[in-house]
Amino acid sequence: MTVLPKPLAPHQPSSRSAHVRTRLVVTVLLVLAALVAIYLLGSGDVQVSPGNAIRAVFGAGDPADVLAVQQWRLPRVLSALLVGAMLGVAGAIFQSLTRNPLGSPDIIGFNTGAYTGALVVLLVTGSSAPLGVTAGALLGGLGTAVAVYLLAYRQGVQGFRLIIVGIALSAMLTAANSWLILKAELPQAIGAAQWGAGSLNDATWGSTLGVCVAAAVLLAPCLWATRPLRQLELGDDLAAALGLRVEPARRALLVLGVLLTAVSAASYGPIAFVALAAPQLARRLTSASGAGLGAAAAMGALVLLASDGLAQRLVTGGTLPAGVVTVCVGGLYLVWLLFREARRT
């Protein structure tokens, strides 16, 4: 026997109780991310206790602690959290639009395109100024997105076409990237390859402030995005019959997802698999249907922060890019996903 809080209500309104579970999952994920963040702020060459680390964030305590926490570690932690959140949301948007867990921006070529843009700046112009690389990556990512959209366009864009075209374009760009690297001088090639793995090693307050601004600008419209995304999951005809302007809504969502991906890749390189895995992991935890942007953001933040923490500690000297760890985590997830799908059919 279960005790109902209100005997009058035979069912809890599921639209509300589903929200309760989602909120709980988001809260737990955020608490976990905060704990990992505090641990990462405190550990390293200068060990700081968790309490002192929190105090140091606000500039209080031992000046050496404040220097290590505020100047060395905080930008990196903040960047990981925000970029992870942006990637999680971008993945959720694309997977929902394409109705396919493989329809995430890192699979359909946007990351590869951003890498191409960065490589052109790094190797062809020979400049390694961060601003130039960022601009190159941004243009490369956006350009690829536009190309995929146009090539996949046939009276509106259908999910599966987008994925196939994206994978094809991604393969071509990968070949171009390899060629660019092979042609380069060794030191430049190493630097370029490092960038291509996606690393937070170079996080500074300069780059972090850029990420903060981008996250504020791009994550705010995501509050609007959830409802249209949910309606689009019902199919174009039903979504339209329920009063959604389908093509404008889809285009706005695509632009939002592309910008989130491109900004992330431009900041710290194409960090793979967070956009693929975070929304799916979040969905399994919330057991909600469809896109949960909040849960995907929280999961993305936690995954990238933990991956970056692992990357720093797995190899002493801290040169392992976070992207390598996310590829391993995401790869394991992908294997599991394929295994599960194969068993089901």
Partner 1 sequence: MTTAHSAAGTGPGQPADRLRAEQVSLGYAAADVITELSLRIPDDRFTVIVGPNACGKSTLLRALARLLPARGGSILLDGKDIHSLPAKQVARVLGLLPQTSTAPEGIRVRELVARGRYPYQRLWSSWTDADEAAVAEAMAATEITELADRLVEELSGGQRQRVWIALVLAQQTPLVLLDEPTTFLDVGHQYALLNLCRDLQRRHGRTVVAVLHDLNQACRYADHLVVMDAGRIVAEGAPATVITPELVERTFELPCRVVPDPVTGSPMVVPELK
**One symbol per residue from 143 to 182: x for binding partner 1 (CB under 8 A), - otherwise; what is it?**
----------------------------------------
CA 43 vs. chain centroid, Å, equals: 25
Backbone angles phi, psi at 157, to 5 degrees: -110, 130
Q: Which H helix or E strand runs over 29?
A: helix 14-42
| Cβ 335 to partner 1 shortest distance, Å | 20
Site for partner 1 contains 59 (CB under 8 A): no
| 209 CB-near residues (< 8 Å, 6+ apart) | none
Nearer to partner 1, 24 or 241 (CB): 241
The owner of tokens 């019902």 is 234
* Cβ–Cβ < 8 Å for 92, 296: yes
Span near partner 1 by CB under 8 A; candidates 71-79, 225-233, 298-306, 309-317: 225-233
Site for partner 1 contains 183 (CB under 8 A): no
The DSSP symbol for 123 reads I
Site for partner 1 contains 336 (CB under 8 A): no
Span near partner 1 by CB under 8 A; candidates 15-23, 40-48, 87-95, 261-269: 15-23
Site for partner 1 contains 290 (CB under 8 A): yes
Give 3-state DSSP helix, strand, coil % of the chain, rounded to 5. 75, 0, 25
Site for partner 1 contains 13 (CB under 8 A): yes
Count of alpha carbons within 13 Å of 156, Cβ hemisphere only?
Answer: 13
Nearer to partner 1, 245 or 313 (CB): 245
Counting every residue, how long is the chain?
Answer: 345
* Cβ–Cβ < 8 Å for 88, 274: yes
Looking at 243, 317, 344, 345, which residue binds partner 1 (CB under 8 A)? 243
Nearer to partner 1, 246 or 263 (CB): 246
Looking at 135, 288, 310, 328, which residue binds partner 1 (CB under 8 A)? 288
* Cβ–Cβ < 8 Å for 183, 120: no
Backbone angles phi, psi at 240, to 5 degrees: -65, -40
| Cβ 269 to partner 1 shortest distance, Å | 32
Q: How far apart are CA 323 and CA 115, in angstroms?
A: 13
Looking at 151, 240, 252, 328, which residue binds partner 1 (CB under 8 A)? 240
Nearer to partner 1, 34 or 240 (CB): 240
Site for partner 1 contains 16 (CB under 8 A): yes
Closest CA to 298 of 6, 13, 14, 36: 36
Closest CA to 270 of 116, 120, 131: 116
Q: Which H helix or E strand runs over 12?
A: none
Nearer to partner 1, 130 or 159 (CB): 159
Span near partner 1 by CB under 8 A; candidates 72-80, 82-90, 235-243, 313-321: 235-243
Span near partner 1 by CB under 8 A; candidates 10-18, 112-120, 124-132, 301-309: 10-18
Residues that bind partner 1 (CB under 8 A): 11, 13-16, 18, 99, 224, 227, 230-231, 233-235, 237-238, 240-245, 283, 287-290
